[in-house]
């Protein structure tokens, strides 16, 4: 990999461009199209040998537009009956600290550290940040 390229393993608003290599590092994220394209060329060159390598067709590049985020998070209630149900008749496995939905949503700037510390978020209707989002802003 060219030393000037600084890929990330997690997407962020600052690293929305990606290269996917199924036999290599999987998804790698970049801050610019040119860095992404340089990395893609580097990856493709690794498939060059005496003939056509079918796996090279699995090297793809693009720009992230949506990501899956947690929505509708509900913390585990204090009162659960002996069968594992709460007062609204939702089942709670003993290992669950919360339940939630997941939705594919437009990719946006992650929340700022100040807003996370204050228990607020820049994302509309945010119910909490997944650990990967907190890692990006710490």
Where helices occur in the chain by DSSP H, the ranges are 33-45, 113-117, 131-137
Dihedral sign from CA coordinates of 62, 64, 70, 72: negative
Beta bridge partners of 30: 17
Residue 110 — pLDDT band, cuts 50, 70, 90?
low
Q: What would the pLDDT profile of 78-102 be if each residue is shown by its tens digit?
A: 999 999 999 999 999 999 999 999 9
Domain residue spans of the chain:
17-63, 66-137
- Give the closest residue to 64 by CA, choosing from 34, 105, 26: 105
Q: How far apart are the first and last CA of the chain?
A: 27
Q: In angstroms, rounded to a whole number, what is the distance separating the alpha carbons of residues 8 and 18?
A: 9
3-state DSSP call for residue 18?
A: strand
* Residue of higher predicted confidence among 50 and 114: 50
3-state DSSP call for residue 57?
A: helix
> What's the pTM?
0.61
> Which two three-digit tokens encode residue 25?
């590092």
Q: What would the pLDDT profile of 28-71 be if each residue is shown by its tens digit?
A: 999 999 999 999 999 999 898 877 888 899 999 999 988 888 99
pLDDT, position 6: 81
Sequence-ordered list of residues with C-beta below 8 angstroms from that of 93, at least 6 positions apart, any chain: 84
* Residue of higher predicted confidence among 103 and 129: 103
Task: Give the mean pLDDT of 75-80.
Answer: 95
Q: In angstroms, rounded to a whole number, what is the distance separating the alpha carbons of residues 38 and 15?
A: 15
């Amino acid at each position: 990999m060219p030393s000037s390229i600084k890929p990330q393993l997690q997407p962020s608003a600052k690293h929305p461009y990606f290269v996917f290599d199924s036999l290599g590092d999987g998804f790698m994220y970049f801050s610019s199209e040119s860095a992404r394209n340089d990395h893609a060329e580097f990856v493709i060159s690794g498939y060059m040998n005496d003939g056509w390598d079918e796996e090279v067709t699995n090297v793809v590049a693009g720009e992230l537009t949506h990501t899956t985020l947690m929505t509708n998070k509900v913390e585990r209630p204090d009162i659960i009956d002996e069968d594992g149900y709460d007062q609204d008749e939702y089942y709670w496995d003993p290992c669950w600290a919360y339940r939630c939905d997941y939705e594919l949503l437009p990719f946006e700037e992650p929340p700022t550290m100040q807003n996370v510390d204050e228990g607020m978020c820049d994302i509309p209707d945010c119910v909490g940040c997944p650990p990967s989002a907190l890692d990006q802003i710490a």
